Structure 1
Amino acid sequence: MSVSHFWQSGRYVSDGGLETDLIFNRGVDLPEFASFPLVETDAGRDHLRDYYDQYAAIARRAGVGLTLESPTWRASPEWGAKVGYDAAALGRVNRAAIALLQDLRDSYADVEDVRIIGAVGPRGDGYVAEEATTAHEAAEFHLPQVAAFADAGVDVVGAYTMTTAVEGLGIARAARSVGLPVLIGFTVETDGRLPDGTTLAEAIAHLEAEEPPDGFILNCAHPTHIAPGLAEGGWLDRIVQVNPNASTLSHAELDEAEELDLGDLALLAASYDALRSKLPNLAIVGGCCGTDASHVAAMSGL
C-alpha cells in the first residue's frame, strides 16, 4: 500500500480543534495560538497526550484508523519568531512534535491503523487572505518546516486553513521537493468561497494544473458554509478530509468572540453527513475550531 494513499484503505478519525480545546476547555495558555511549545515541557506533553488519547478511544470504538495531526500549525518562521523561536529552534520542535506522535502511535497498538500528519498552517492569519505572494516564495517559506517533517519520518504533510491557492501550491512544491506526500487544505467563508473570493473548484483546478497534491482537505468552516462551494464536478473526488468548525458563525464573528461557541451538535453531525454524498472519497473525519472529542464522535456516528 502506498503511504501517499493510505486513506484509500478505509476510514480514519482525526482530532478536533486542538488550540481551542486547550485554551477554553483545559485552561492552557497559548500565546499567538501556538501549541507547538507544549512539546518541550513535561506538562505540555501531558496535555497533548491526554488530548490525543481521546481520539484514539474514538477510533477504537468506531473500529477505524486514526490520523494524528502534529501540533505545529503555528511552527513556521514568522509565527515562531513571535513566541521566541528562531530557525534552529523551530527545526528542533517540529522534529520533536513528530517524535511525540510516533511514541503515541506505538502506544496505540490496538488501533486499526495510525498515521502521522505533519500539520502546516498559513504564513498569515488563517481567516484572512493575505497580500499576494508567489508560489515560489511560499515554497521557500514553508520548506524548512516540511524538511523537518521529512527528517522526522512523517507519513504525510497536511496544509490546513489555506486562504489562497497560491500558498497551497507553494506548500505542495515544498513537500514534493523533499519527497513527501501532501494534502492541501482550504478554508472557506459562509458562501463556500476562499477568503480571497476564489471558488473551491478554481483553487483545486489551479493546483491540479501546476503541482497536483495527493488530495485536498477542507477545514475551519461549518459544513453549512462548505456545502455552497461544492458545485458539481470530478474535482470533488479529490477531497479526502473535512475538519469543520463547531460554530455557524463567520470567521469575522469567531475572531471577535470572547467565549467558545460549541455550536449545535445535532446540526453539525447532520450537515456533515450531508457532505458525504457529495464527497465520494471522504476518508478522514475530524474537527477544527470549537470542536472536541464529542463533536468528532458525533460526526463519526458514535
Structure 2
Amino acid sequence: MTRPASAVASYLDHLLVERGTAENTLASYRRDLQRYLSHLDAAGVTDLADVTERHVGDFLVALRTGADGRAPLATASATRAVVAVRGLHRFALAEGLVAVDVAREVHPPSPPRRLPKALDVATVGRLLEARGGDADDAGGVRDRALLELLYSTGARISEAVGLDVDDVDATERSVRLAGKGGKQRLVPIGRPALAALDAYKVRARPALAARGRGTPALFLNARGARLSRQSAWASLRAAAERAGLAGEISPHTLRHSFATHLLDGGADLRVVQELLGHASVTTTQIYTQVTVDTLREVFAMAHPRARA
C-alpha cells in the first residue's frame, strides 16, 4: 500500500535532488499536489493504487470550477497543476508504486483561442492611405505597394517579402505565394494593389535596384537587397502612426482583416482556407467567430424583439 502523501513527498524529493527543479517551480508543485491530496482524501482514497482516471479528471474539473470549495484557477495555473499530477503518477509507475499510470490520458486544459484583431474596411483604407515614408520617395511608393498587397491577398509577411518580381502576374491578376513548408498557392489580387505594384515597379524599384547587386526580389530595401520582415513591420508601424490608429497593428492584422472581410461579404469558408494557405479548415474557423460577433451586434441593435 502506498499512501498518496508518501508518494507526493518522494516525488518532490525526486524533483529537488535528481531533477534540480527550481525552488519556485517546486513550491508551486507542492501547493498543487497538496490540493490534489485533499481532493483524493475527500474521495476516500487512501492508497495511490486505488486512484482512477476519473479521480484525476474530476480534479481538473475542480481546478477550473472551484467544485472543491477553493478558488477556480486560470488556464495557465490549472495546466501547471495537471502537469504536476501527471508527473506524480508517471513517477509512481516508474518507481513500481503503481501498476498503471492513470493520469496519462488526462490532458491539461487548452488555452483559450484569442480572436484575431480585424480592422473595419474604412480603417484599412485610412491605413493604406497613410503608408510610412514620403509618398513621393522610393520607400513610400514601395510601402504603399507592400501594404496594398498584404491586404489584397491575405499574405503572411514572410510570404510578401519572399516574393520575386515574376511571382506577380498582372495579366491573370494573381500572385504566387510560397507558404509554410514551401507549399505554393496562387491567389487573386485586386486592381488597387496591382496599380500600387505597377507604380512601385516603374517609379521606385529601378532606383532601389541600382543600389544593389541585382536580385529578383520584388520588394527591395534602401541598399537594393530583399526587404526584411523587420523592415516591413517598421513600414506598417509608421503607416499606423500616421493614420492615428491606437493599439498594436501588425502584418497579421491585415491578414485577419482580409479573412474577416471576405467572410462578411459571403465568401465560403473553404475558399478563405485556400486563400490563407491553411492546411486545415479548423484554423480558418476562428474567423467565423468574429463575424458571428458582428452579426450578434447588428441583431441586438436592429431586431425589435432582440432585447424583449
TM bin, normalised by shorter chain, reads under 0.3
Which of the pair is proportionally richer in helix?
A: 2
Larger Rg: 2
Q: Which has the higher contact order (CA 8 A, sep 6+)?
A: 1
Which of the pair is proportionally richer in strand?
A: 1
